[in-house]
């Protein structure tokens, strides 16, 4: 099992557009065979800070996800909405 935390800071003027695209991405991603969990989350302290929390069966599931129509269409649209670079960290559960 692999867990991903993908963190973004969204430009304020794009929050509504970002939320619409993120909702579409979450709905489609959760239907994928190797997806255990996929959610979009917003910081309590700063409405511009968001992260995707993802749990995947294995690397093959992540690779398949990264090649899906919804991922390859939506992710490039996020680029102009970000205020700075996105950080993406992968984890495996140890306890």
Whether the full predicted model's pTM is greater than 0.85, yes or no, is yes
Q: What's 6's domain CATH number?
A: 3.30.70.100
10-residue mean pLDDT profile of the chain (95 residues): values are 98 98 99 98 98 98 98 96 97 94
pLDDT score of 68: 98
pLDDT score of 87: 98
Q: Which domain holds residue 7?
A: 2-91
Could you tell me the two tokens for 72?
Answer: 């390859």
pLDDT score of 53: 99
Q: Which residues share a beta bridge with 10?
A: 82
pLDDT score of 75: 96
Q: Which residues share a beta bridge with 8?
A: 50
Number of domains in the chain: 1
pLDDT score of 3: 99
């Amino acid at each position: 099992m692999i867990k991903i935390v993908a963190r973004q800071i969204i430009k304020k003027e794009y929050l509504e557009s970002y939320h619409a695209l993120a909702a579409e991405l979450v709905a489609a991603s959760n239907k994928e065979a190797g997806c255990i969990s996929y959610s979009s989350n917003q910081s309590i302290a700063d409405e511009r800070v968001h992260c995707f929390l993802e749990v995947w069966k294995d690397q093959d599931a992540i690779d398949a996800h990264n090649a899906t129509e919804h991922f390859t269409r939506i992710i490039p649209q996020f680029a102009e909405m970000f205020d700075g670079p996105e950080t993406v960290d992968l984890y495996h559960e140890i306890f």
